[in-house]
Amino acid sequence: MIVRKILVSLLAAGSVLGLAAPAPAAVRSAVRSASGDVVVFSTEAQPLDVYRDPAGCQQLPALAHVLTNQTDGPVKIYSNPFCLGPSVVVQPGYGTHVPGGAGSFSA
C-alpha cells in the first residue's frame, strides 16, 4: 500500500512538473523541418528576408509586414518572439500580414 502511494505521488509530481517519457521513434521521425522557403517582406527599401528550410522558432524582423509560405508544410505565426500561445496557420502557397518586431513563426 505504501509503495502504491509513493508511485501515485511520483506520477502526480511528474505531471505537475511537466515530466514525460520520450516520444516513440515513430512520433520523433514525424517531427521535421519544412522544405522550401518562408519569405518575409518588410519595406520597399529592404531586401526580402528568406528562411530556407526553416526549423524551430524564428523571430520575425523588426519591420516585418507580410510572410509568404513557400514550404511544403504549414507555418504557424505568433504574436510574440517565443512561438508560444495562440497562432495563425498559413498553408503552403499562401501568405498573411504579420506582427513586426515582436512576432515569430515556426515551420
Which residue reads 518562408 in cell numbers?
38
Please give the tally of structural domains in the chain.
1
**What DSSP string runs through 12-36?**
HHHHHHT--PPPPHHHHHH--PPSE
Query: Do residues 48 and 40 make contact, with C-beta atoms less than 8 angstroms apart?
Result: yes
Residue-range definition of the domain harbouring residue 57: 31-106
Q: What is the CATH number of the domain that holds 77?
A: 2.60.20.10
Question: Does residue 13 lie in a domain region?
Answer: no
pLDDT tens sequence for the chain (107 residues):
543 444 444 444 444 334 334 444 443 334 567 899 999 999 999 999 999 999 999 999 999 999 999 999 999 999 999 999 999 999 999 999 998 778 999 99
**Structural domain includes residue 89:** yes
